[in-house]
Amino acid sequence: MNLRDLELFCEVAHVGSFSKAAKAHGMSQPAASEIVKGLEEQLGCELLNRSIRPLQLTAEGKIYYDGCHELLEGYRRLEDRILQRRDKVVGPVRVASIYSVGLLQMDCYVKEFERLYPDAALDLKYLHPKDVLDGVLNEEVDVGLMSFAPRRADLVCETWQDQKIVAVVAPQHRLATRSAIRVAELDGESLVGFTCELRMRQETDRWLKQAKVSVNVLHTFDNIENIKRAVEVGSGLSLLPVPTVRREIDIGSLVAIEIEDVDWVRRLDIVYRRTKPFTTAISRFLELLNQNPETFTQPGDSKPSESPAATNSTGKKTKKREPRSQSLPR
């Protein structure tokens, strides 16, 4: 038995599939199956119920999975402590983000992190809000980026960005020539919005109700890209954060109009488990998120991007993040 075998078993249990786990670990499906079978023979019990799909853990398998997970986390912390003595930043940083944060916003952070810490391994995936939250709660990811994260005792939620909300219309819309409108002018307009189960839609409904504005919701989607496409073809207007439509504004496919008498913002949060012990790599990534991307080193620059008083996208000064306790959670 070795740590790689335990990592493979945890991956099989997580995805419920030998083939998917094997692909993630760069091996064949029969090889992955043989490794798990070897673990079962060593323990003298079945760890997986193979009679159903996706595969599920047996009672003994659940105990073994929890123990393996704790063992692997402990080893990563031990490895990190040793590498810190050599000023090395290594190891995985698993991040899940909602789709609307998007590559355009995250690309600069990813590139700067990889430049500063080439020995670390940043894994960034885009998911629906519920899946981001579940990933954090289940410790499948280290950090989540989502809008209006729920306040819970077992979570830390740090406000990352406050993104201004604007009315977004197609160039041919009757309001497209306006640079600003009052909120009352939205009354009776056709709206393209998010589906009702998403927190962004719930906040939008609350804002409109407070402003005593009634809109005609024509279309709803569960992702921001489909909303933008619907607005582009003239299906109605939408209320969206400025950063999510910058590319479309630049190329002229959408027009953003300020709503001058309200202060609506989408709050983006950084979310992680309160008991989560951070490696140095995770701490460095969080520090980077709270810097202004304009301070990052550009290709050809000779000076590093780190500065004693960086600012985040909201203009607030940030302090250097101290590594969190490396002790095991109680």
Residue 180 structural domain: 165-266
Q: Report if residue 135 sits inside a domain.
A: yes
What is the mean pLDDT of the segment spanning 8-22? Answer: 91
- Residue 314 belongs to a domain: no
Please indicate, yes or no, whether residues 153 and 277 belong to a single structural domain of this protein. Answer: yes
Mean of the per-residue pLDDT values of the chain: 86
Distance CA 57, CA 291 (A): 42
Half-sphere exposure of 182 (CA within 13 A, CB side): 4
In whole angstroms, give the CA distance from residue 172 to residue 184: 21
pLDDT of residue 296: 84
CA atoms 51, 53, 59, 63: torsion sign = positive
Cβ proximity of 68 and 11 under 8 Å: no
| Among the listed residues 1, 73, 3, the one whose alpha carbon sits nearest the alpha carbon of residue 37 | 1
The verdict on residue 49 lying in a domain is yes
Give the separation between CA 55 and CA 161, rounded to whole angstroms: 40
Instruction: Please report which confidence band the pLDDT of residue 165 belongs to, taking 50, 70 and 90 as the band edges.
Output: very high
| Domains identified in the chain, total number | 3
Structure tokens at 167: 């009315």
Is 243 in the same domain as 102? no
pLDDT band of residue 86 (cuts 50, 70, 90) is: low
> CATH number of the domain that 206 lies in?
3.40.190.10
Residues 287 and 146 in one domain: yes
Task: Clarify whether residues 238 and 272 are in a common domain.
Answer: no
The string of pLDDT tens digits covering residues 248-300 is 999 999 999 999 999 999 999 999 998 877 888 999 999 999 998 888 866 55
**In the listed set 39, 69, 99, which residue is the last one of a domain according to the structure?**
69
77 domain residue, yes or no: no
In a domain? residue 57 = yes
Task: Tell me, yes or no, whether 179 and 128 share the same domain.
Answer: no
211-222 mean pLDDT: 95
Tokens of 326: 């490396």
For 222-232, write each residue's pLDDT tens digit.
989 999 999 99
The yes-or-no verdict on residue 142 having pLDDT over 60 is yes
Place of tokens 């070897």: 38
Q: Do residues 126 and 275 share a domain?
A: yes
Task: For residue 88, give the amino acid letter.
Answer: K
For residues 208 and 230, state if they share a domain.
Answer: yes
Instruction: Based on the fold, state whether residues 106 and 253 are members of the same structural domain.
Output: no
Task: Please report the pLDDT score of residue 316 as a whole number.
Answer: 39
Confidence (pTM): 0.68
Contact between 224 and 250 under an 8 Å Cβ cutoff? The reply is no
| Same-domain pairing of 139 and 193 | no
Any domain includes 64: yes
Q: What DSSP assignment string belongs to 145-203?
A: EEES----TTEEEEEEEEEEEEEEE-TTSTTTT-SEE-GGGGTT-EEEEE-TTSHHHHH
What is the spatial distance between Cα 298 and Cα 108, in angstroms, rounded to a whole number? 10
Q: How far apart are CA 268 and CA 144, in angstroms?
A: 10
Task: Indicate the length of the chain as a whole number.
Answer: 330
Cα(39)–Cα(296) distance, rounded to whole angstroms? 47
132 and 275 share one domain? yes
Segment holding 248, helix H or strand E = helix 246-251
User: 119 and 211 in one domain?
Assistant: no
pLDDT band at 205 (very low <50, low <70, confident <90, very high): very high
Question: Which residue has 């909602």 as its token pair?
Answer: 98
| Cis amide bond preceding 54, omega within 30 | yes
**DSSP-based helix, strand, coil % in the chain, nearest 5:** 40, 20, 35
Kindly state whether residue 141 falls inside one of the protein's structural domains: yes
Q: What is the CATH number of the domain that holds 63?
A: 1.10.10.10
Backbone angles phi, psi at 95, to 5 degrees: -125, 135
Pick from 20, 42, 69: which residue ends a domain? Answer: 69
Q: Does pLDDT of 175 surpass 80?
A: yes
**Residue 35 and residue 178 in one domain:** no
- What average pLDDT score do residues 45-51 get? 94
Compute, in degrees rounded to 10, the torsion defined by CA atoms 36, 41, 45, 49: 30
Q: CA-based diameter of the chain, in Å?
A: 74
The pair of three-digit structure tokens given for residue 202, joined into one six-digit string:
């719930």
Tell me if 133 is assigned to some domain. yes
Instruction: Name, in order, each residue with C-beta under 8 angstroms of 205's C-beta and a sequence gap of 6 or more.
Output: none
